[in-house]
Structures are given as structure tokens and as C-alpha cells.
Amino acid sequence: MSDILLNDFATPERIEALKSSYHQVLTLLGEDPEREGLLKTPERVAKAMLALTRGYHMDAREVLLSAKFKEDYRQMVIVKDIDFFSLCEHHMLPFYGKAHVAYIPNGYITGLSKIARVVDIFSHRLQVQERMTLQIKECIQEALDPLGVMVVVEARHMCMQMRGVEKQNAITTTSDFTGAFNRAKTREEFMNLIKA
């Protein structure tokens, strides 16, 4: 994992402290942290975890506001198939999949890439899928004040699949919405468009 994914929070002191913690974790797992293959592992894991949780130090609302444009378009805007990778907060194991976002502008739009950035920021934290879905929705609702926003997230959870708790290919779907999406017909239109 590249160091450029790290931010100011990832100070040398913090990396050092995490390194020694992961060194201990390896020992507690019955491994020998001094064997060749594991020598640099504590440092790699420390940096990887800091990168995978970098979203704590990023302001998703600010990202949307930085690219908020006045526009009269009032039809549904859809950004579908946004790949994301997150860590479940119960096991710190990956859950990953796709997020689909729709909003109906009320005078303002944002850059399409900014919607993907919002998903990226909230997924780079310890999460539960339900809360991540809600946070993406609330962030867009607050920043753009659209007529409505809807978020659908489909994910596979490694904490279920690797531990054999659930069927290997189970996909968990969550959704949340505001405003105009309270109408079943509007939700249906969105669901049909993301299936295509």
C-alpha cells in the first residue's frame, strides 16, 4: 500500500505505536514476528489500516460544497456501480460491493465524481453497511438540499463469508431515501435504472 494514501494523522509516532501493537498481535497469534516473511508486516499493516480508515479525517460535505453548481435540471441524477471497500466495525474485516446514488436537484448539482468521493470517504472508516448508507444519504441531502436522494448499497461481508456464518455468495442490500423518493414510483424508477 502506497504512502501517498496516508494523511497528516499518520504521524511517524502513530505508525511506530501501531507497528509495535501489530508485532504483539503476531506473537499472540502464535507467529514468530522475527521470521523473514513477517519482518516488515507490522509496519505494512499499520500503514494499510491508517489508509483504510483515512475517511475519518476527510469532510465529505466539504467535497460536495466545493463543486456545487447552480443548475435548473430537475430530473433524477444517477451515479450507479460505485465500487467501494470498507471494514466492518465488529470484526475489522472487509465488506465491499457497489453503491448506487440518485438525487433530484433543487437548483443545485454537484460534480458526478464528487458523489463517488463521498462514498469513498464514508467507506474508509470502520462501518456497518446500514450506517454507511444513511451517512451517504444525509451528507448529500445536507450539502445539496435536493428534492430527494436515494442510496442503495449491495455488499459482500467477509466476516460472514470467511467464517462460514452465511452462504458464501450472500449479498446484503441496504437502502435509504428522502423527499421525492418517498413515492414508490420514484424509487421504482431508480431501481429499474440501476438494474439495467
Catalytic site positions = 88-91, 129, 157, 159
| CB closer to Zn ion out of 78 and 159 | 159
Q: What crossing angle do the helices spanning 12-28 and 41-52 adopt, rounded to 10°?
A: 120
Give min distance, CB of 168 to Zn ion, in A: 16
C-beta neighbour count of 173 within 10 angstroms: 11
Strands lying side by side in the sheet with 148-157: 126-127, 77-88, 94-104, 148-157, 172-177
The binding track of 90-119 with respect to Zn ion, each residue x by CB under 5 A or -, is: xx----------------------------
Q: Which stretch binds Zn ion (CB under 5 A): 26-34, 116-124, 158-166, 180-188?
A: 158-166
Give min distance, CB of 85 to Zn ion, in A: 14
Residue 159 sits in the site that holds Zn ion (CB under 5 A): yes
Q: Which stretch binds Zn ion (CB under 5 A): 7-15, 122-130, 153-161, 178-186?
A: 153-161
* H helix intervals, the chain: 12-28, 41-52, 60-65, 112-123, 129-144, 158-161, 184-195
| CB closer to Zn ion out of 75 and 169 | 169
**Nine-digit cell at 170?**
450472500
Residue 88 sits in the site that holds Zn ion (CB under 5 A): yes
| CB closer to Zn ion out of 126 and 147 | 126
Give min distance, CB of 195 to Zn ion, in A: 27
Tell which residue, 27, 115, 18, has the closest CA to residue 66.
115
Q: Which residue is nearest to Zn ion (CB)?
A: 159
Specify the 3-state DSSP secondary structure of 103. Answer: strand
Identify the burial level of 46 via C-beta atoms within 10 angstroms of its C-beta, where 0-12 means exposed, 13-18 middle and 19 or more buried: buried
| CB closer to Zn ion out of 63 and 153 | 153
The residues of the shown chain that bind Zn ion, judged by CB under 5 A, are 88, 90-91, 159
